[in-house]
């Protein structure tokens, strides 16, 4: 039995931030299947065809061409193909990939998993090229699919799956989450095109401090209940974590096998257990690992304290991203989020004081949000000690309470969630008006920082820090010379990967 795991091609607007990165979800699946004796391969279509660009309407498609994809499929000749769909915005790419697979051989079992299938499995199964959907955590479920298909081809009653049977969609009971994450093998990076990832990060505009960067996930789940976040559809709200020793074992392996110099922790909530995070830092220090690290997916500012920040800095942390969302208390409560603004400002200020770079991510344009709330958010960012701010427009994702609100209020496009691009209209603003407000937020924040450029000198504690500031200066210079371009591209394009989850 041969299994092929696919990361689809990537279709984006020309001004979207580009770039490819390791698909750790497929890496974990592949490692787990290998551990149980399954013959598995991984094909990252987007990465291996990163420089093959095709025009599709108003968008650009990155990835291997259809002819090459079919050629690879014939070479691998798998009986099962697993396709990841990490975002509703890119669901069409996943569907297009499934179509190509079935054109090569209709008998291939096509399994789809990831964030979008987990949040809207019935919608995914409307595509005749998808045979079964994995909802939530995939390792155990996918292995059971492989075993059953090999023995009897009977896929009924597999926990954590949705299947189509005699024209009807059958929902099976959910799969219990894996409690002991230490039991999972590290991602099968030997099956991923790591050299391509390293080349891409080295040649495109990037904001990492060192040359060779890798991504690591140390925990799953988030205890928060933000109405806009679809994370719980995959990982649930129960937070589960790997031990500090297990996490640093993986980092040490990355340093040894791939000469990694920097780590991006992609957890959705890495700081839930502050003692554990402290333990990761101490383990890095104890093993004398010379690495730098960041938290691009965000870290809960309300869970941090000064002692922990100092230890993080000592262990190599140099940049933190805070998911602050709104500067208006009423809106923050509506989002299901609760933190003290004064405490958040104090933590951001202290992080600046000890030389950490800080990014704040904010969201504007919630369904009932008015202009005064958006102004509060912009002013909160400007009046803080944040080095950078990213302003997103609220995006209603299937499987979230916010999506249900947009649906109830008739605010979604008639063509459905797949056509929601960078937000949609609200009760008080058109999408065009929100885009203008977003551009104004970027411009106002940047202008406020250009008035005090000397504040960034506080970041210089070493020659490496000085070199990093020069790198940032070069990357940002074109926008400083032409700040109106921010309204077109947004600061997310400047600070690529500022918040990958959103």
CA distance 358 to 386: 5
In this prediction, what percent of the chain has a pLDDT beyond 70?
A: 93
- State the pLDDT at residue 480: 55
Shared-domain flag, residues 27 and 105: yes
For residue 407, tell me if it sits in a domain: no
Is 399 inside a domain boundary?
no
Q: Is residue 192 part of a domain?
A: no
- Whether 489 shows a pLDDT value over 80: the answer reads no
Tell whether 319 and 445 lie within a shared domain.
Answer: yes
CATH number of the domain enclosing 299: 3.80.30.20
pLDDT of residue 17: 61
Q: Give domain status of residue 61, yes or no.
A: yes
CB-based contacts of 389: which residues, under 8 Å, 6+ apart? Answer: 359, 360, 361, 362, 381, 382, 441, 442, 445, 491
- For residue 499, what is the DSSP state? T
Q: Look up residue 102 and give its two tokens.
A: 């079935």
Pair of tokens at residue 88: 């509703």
Please tell me which residue, 363 or 235, carries the higher pLDDT value. 363
Residues 143 and 18 in one domain: yes
- Whole-angstrom Cα distance, residue 442 to residue 392? 10
Beta bridge partners, 219, equal: 241
Q: Provide the token pair at 231.
A: 């994370």
What is the mean predicted confidence (pLDDT) over 33-46?
Answer: 97
Tens digits of residue pLDDT in 429-469: 999 999 999 999 999 999 999 888 888 998 999 999 999 99
Predicted TM-score of the model (pTM) = 0.92
Are residues 482 and 381 both part of a single domain?
Answer: yes
pLDDT surpassing 80 at residue 415: no
Mean pLDDT value across residues 55-72: 93
Question: Is 451 found in the same domain as 380?
Answer: yes
Q: Does pLDDT of 418 surpass 90?
A: no
pLDDT at 502 over 80: no
CB atoms closer than 10 angstroms to residue 278: 17
Per DSSP, 485 falls in state G
Task: Write down the H helix ranges in 152-231.
Answer: 194-203
Residues 140 and 212 in one domain: no
Mean pLDDT of 235-251: 93
Q: How confident is residue 495, by pLDDT bands cut at 50, 70 and 90?
A: very low
Q: How confident is the model at residue 224 (pLDDT cuts 50, 70, 90)?
A: confident
Q: Are residues 167 and 229 in the same domain?
A: no
- Picking from 418, 454, 487, the residue whose alpha carbon sits closest to that of residue 126 is 418
For 477, counting Cβ atoms within 10 Å of its Cβ (0-12 exposed, 13-18 middle, 19+ buried), the class is: exposed
- Does residue 429 sit in helix, strand or coil? coil
Considering its fold, how many domains does the chain have in total?
A: 2
Identify whether the C-beta of residue 76 lies closer than 8 Å to the C-beta of residue 52. no
Where is the domain boundary, 156, 171, 186?
171
379 and 475 belong to one structural domain: yes
Domain assignment present for residue 404? The answer is no
Model confidence at 70, pLDDT cuts 50, 70, 90, reads very high
What is the predicted pLDDT for the residue at 417?
59
| 409 in any annotated domain | no
Q: Is residue 424 part of a domain?
A: no
The two three-digit tokens of residue 271, written as one number: 């700081």
Same-domain check for residues 232 and 355? yes
What tokens does 8 get? Answer: 């689809």
Its domain, for residue 142, covers 2-171
Q: Which of 129, 147, 171 is the last residue of a domain?
A: 171
116 found inside a domain: yes
End-to-end CA, the chain: 36
Residues 160 and 235 in one domain: no
Say which CATH number the domain at 148 has: 3.40.50.280
Total residues found in the chain within this entry: 502
pLDDT in tens, 11-20: 888 777 657 8
Q: Over the stretch 153-176, which tens digit does the pLDDT of each residue have? A: 889 999 999 999 888 999 999 999
Convert the pLDDT of each residue in 471-482 to its tens digit. 988 877 765 555
Bridge partners (DSSP) listed for residue 264 = 215, 294
Last residue of a domain, one of 171, 196, 219: 171
Region 248-261: mean pLDDT is: 97
Q: Verify that 215 and 340 share a domain, yes or no.
A: yes
CA angle in degrees (0–180, nearest 5) for 307-311-312: 115
Domain match, 144 and 236 both = no
Average pLDDT rounded to a whole number, residues 488-495 = 45
Instruction: Give the pLDDT of residue 284.
Output: 98
Least confident range of 120-129, 298-307, 414-423, 450-459? 414-423
Q: Mean per-residue pLDDT for 211-233?
A: 90
């Amino acid at each position: 039995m041969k299994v092929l795991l696919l990361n689809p091609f990537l279709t984006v607007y020309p001004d979207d931030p580009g770039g490819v990165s390791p698909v750790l979800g497929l890496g974990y699946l592949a490692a787990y299947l290998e551990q149980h004796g399954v013959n598995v391969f991984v094909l990252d279509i987007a990465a291996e065809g990163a420089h093959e660009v095709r025009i599709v309407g108003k968008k650009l498609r990155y990835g291997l061409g259809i002819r090459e994809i079919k050629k690879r499929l014939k070479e691998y000749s798998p009986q099962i193909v697993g396709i990841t769909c990490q975002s509703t915005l890119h669901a069409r790419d996943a569907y297009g990939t499934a179509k190509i697979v079935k054109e090569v051989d209709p008998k291939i079992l096509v399994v789809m998993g990831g964030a979008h299938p987990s949040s809207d499995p019935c919608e995914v199964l409307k595509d005749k090229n998808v045979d079964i959907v994995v909802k939530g955590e995939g390792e155990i479920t996918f292995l059971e699919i492989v075993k059953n298909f090999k023995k009897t081809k009977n896929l009924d009653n597999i926990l954590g799956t949705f299947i189509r049977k005699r024209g009807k969609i059958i929902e099976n009971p959910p799969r219990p989450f894996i409690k002991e994450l230490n039991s999972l093998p590290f991602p099968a990076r030997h099956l991923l095109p790591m050299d391509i990832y390293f080349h891409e990060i080295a040649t495109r505009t990037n904001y990492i401090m060192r040359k060779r960067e890798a991504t690591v996930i140390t925990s799953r789940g988030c205890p928060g209940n933000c109405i806009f976040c679809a994370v719980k559809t995959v990982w649930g709200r129960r937070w589960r974590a790997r031990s500090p020793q297990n996490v640093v074992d993986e980092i040490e392996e990355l340093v040894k096998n791939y000469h990694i110099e920097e780590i991006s922790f992609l957890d959705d909530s890495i700081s839930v257990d502050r003692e554990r995070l402290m333990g990761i830092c101490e383990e890095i220090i104890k093993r004398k690992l010379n690495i730098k690290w960041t938290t691009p997916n965000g870290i809960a500012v309300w869970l941090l304290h000064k002692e922990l920040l100092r230890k993080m800095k000592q262990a190599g942390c140099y940049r933190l991203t805070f998911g602050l969302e709104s500067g208006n208390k009423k809106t923050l409560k509506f989002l299901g989020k609760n933190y003290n603004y004064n405490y958040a400002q104090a933590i951001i200020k202290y992080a600046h004081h000890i030389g950490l770079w800080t990014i704040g991510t904010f969201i504007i344009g919630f369904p009932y949000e008015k202009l005064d709330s958006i102004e509060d958010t912009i002013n909160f960012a400007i009046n803080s000690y944040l080095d950078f701010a990213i302003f997103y427009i609220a995006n209603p994702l299937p499987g979230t309470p916010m999506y249900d609100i947009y649906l109830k209020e008739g605010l979604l496009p008639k063509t459905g969630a797949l056509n929601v691009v960078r937000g949609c209209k609200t009760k008080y603003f058109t999408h065009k008006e929100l885009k203008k407000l977003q551009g104004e937020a970027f411009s106002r924040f940047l202008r406020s920082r250009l008035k005090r450029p000397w504040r960034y000198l506080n970041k210089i504690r070493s020659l490496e820090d000085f070199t990093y500031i020069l790198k940032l200066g070069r990357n940002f210079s074109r926008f400083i010379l032409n700040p109106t371009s921010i309204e077109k591209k947004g600061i997310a394009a400047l600070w690529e990967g500022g918040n990958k989850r959103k």
